[in-house]
Amino acid sequence: MATIVGDRTLRDLLEHRAHTTPDRTFVIFDDLASNIVQLSYAQFDERVNRAANLLLALGIASGDKVNLHLPNCLEFLFLWFAAAKIAAVIMPTNILSSAAELEYLLNHSESRLIFTDFDHADVAEQARQNCAGIKAVILCGRTEKQSAYQSFDELMAAQPVAAADAKPSPIDEVAILSYLRDNRTPKGRHGYQRQLCLCRRNSGQSHTSKFVGSPLRCIAVVSWQCPVLLDYEHACRRRQYGANGRLQR
């Protein structure tokens, strides 16, 4: 059945824009320290290709699950798009999750890798102890005093920039989005390439392509139904969570 997406995937959309408008700004990331990183479509696609090749080098294949236990950061975006390029599946988890909650999600999803940061490495390591399927924990960002873990930046630097040899399908799963039910037991919903290309907003607004128009000014916003990228008109900073788990405005 024909759809407005057709046979397009996230890989198709990103590579098309990187080819037709390589110098146009794709993402602007403003962190808590007001360090601003701006990447064009071509620059972003190059980093995604490196991340995709890294996933392949680490043994990730089509349909394999990868846990992103990360706060808002550029590495989240690189890995999200990279997994989509090789038909792998990301499972983002709340950085406030306990080791027991994370362990349940890792085992239930059959995740094979954990990408996390320095501040959350201890919880990830605790959760990993009872997860036989986890092959490695990779640290994004600073890695001091964590020599036991591989560095995402160092691994990325060793990867080629050529696009990986993979052909995802519009019906491929691209994300498992986890959340806690009322009884505090985790549950996940599945997102697919077709949904991500549509970029449907939960608010019920019309479909729009996030690969044209204004550059992205925020990091990945994950809804319960499908991954969504929102192109705000103002720069969004990484949001901080309080002890009660609520966003601090």
pLDDT in tens, the chain (249 residues): 344 445 778 888 888 889 999 999 988 888 777 788 899 999 999 999 999 999 999 999 999 999 999 998 999 999 999 999 999 999 999 898 899 989 989 998 899 999 999 999 999 999 999 999 999 999 998 777 556 889 999 999 999 999 888 887 766 777 777 766 655 566 667 776 666 665 543 333 333 333 334 444 443 333 333 333 333 222 333 344 344 444 444
Strand partners, 190: 176
Contacts 24+ apart (CB under 8 A), 100-108: 100/127, 101/180, 101/186, 102/67, 102/69, 102/127, 103/127, 103/128, 103/130, 103/131, 104/186, 105/67, 105/178, 105/186, 105/188, 106/67, 106/131, 106/133, 106/134, 107/131, 107/133, 108/186, 108/188
Q: Phi then psi for 47, rounded to 5 degrees?
A: -70, -35
Q: Per the domain annotation, does 209 fall within a domain? A: yes
Q: Per the domain annotation, does 216 fall within a domain? A: yes
Q: Amino acid letter at 112?
A: R
Tokens, residue 197: 């290309």
In whole angstroms, give the CA distance from residue 114 to residue 117: 10
Task: Work out the number of other CB atoms within 10 angstroms of the CB of residue 188.
Answer: 16
What pTM was estimated for this model as a whole? 0.76
Query: CATH no. for residue 52?
Result: 3.40.50.12780
Report the pLDDT value the prediction gives residue 171, as an integer from 0 to 100.
67
Range of the domain at 213: 10-159+166-234
Q: Per the domain annotation, does 245 fall within a domain? A: no
Provide the 3-class DSSP secondary structure of residue 14.
helix
Q: Per the domain annotation, does 249 fall within a domain? A: no
Report the pLDDT value the prediction gives residue 147, as an integer from 0 to 100.
62
